[in-house]
Amino acid sequence: MSMALALEFTQTWLRDRFSWKWNECAVSHDALPSYDAGNFFIAIDDMGVETGSEVTDSLREILNIQIGIWRRPEFLAKDRRGLLKMPQDLYLLGSWTLHDLERAVIVHKSGDPTKPNGLHNNWSFRTALNTYCNLPNENDGAEFITPWNYRGRGRMESVTLDNRGGEDQAFLGYRLRFRGCMREQKLRETEDAIG
């Protein structure tokens, strides 16, 4: 219920802030890159929903997502792929590095310090999410009361996509974890519960 709204807007937010195209940033199953991705891909997927106390007349939802940041490594020999962990790319100057992508998704700030672009603890994101979804409203429920909070990442992963008949496609990257976008919806009024 809430997850679809949050996933859609997170995709929209990142695309708008960084001018990423549909084949550079999208909601994707298991936060995997797409076959038609360019040199990098930002993949957004859900990791489930937490709920609040069972002894209440409301429904609390706390969302969890993962964001895969992926780069193609084919321009590097296998024994040089550790270079993707470095902040600058010696071979593709001016390209988005994994370091750049991670910083952008988590904390990147625009020229205006009051308008951060990244997702971590970004209250502008929360306000824009509620406006985008026209929350609160009767059909979709209560407004989101917290933004995303960064919860860490694992080690660099390698992923190979089987292109069924074409060349397999390799990517290296990280899966960032976020938790938040909490909202609480009253299911009935207290007076109704008593009466």
Taking only the tens place, the pLDDT of each residue in 116-161 is 689 999 999 999 999 999 999 988 889 999 999 999 999 888 888 8
pLDDT of residue 24: 96
Question: How many whole angstroms separate alpha carbon 12 and alpha carbon 34?
Answer: 17
Position 13 scores a pLDDT of 95
Determine the 3-state secondary structure of 182 from DSSP. strand
pLDDT of residue 91: 52
Distances (CA, A) of 18 to 87, 116, 156: 18, 12, 23
pLDDT value, residue 21: 95
User: In this structure, which amino acid lies at residue 160?
Assistant: T
User: Mean pLDDT of residues grouped by 10 in the chain (195 residues)?
Assistant: 90 94 96 90 95 75 96 60 51 67 84 72 94 91 94 89 74 94 76 43
Q: Are 168 and 151 in contact (CB under 8 A)?
A: no
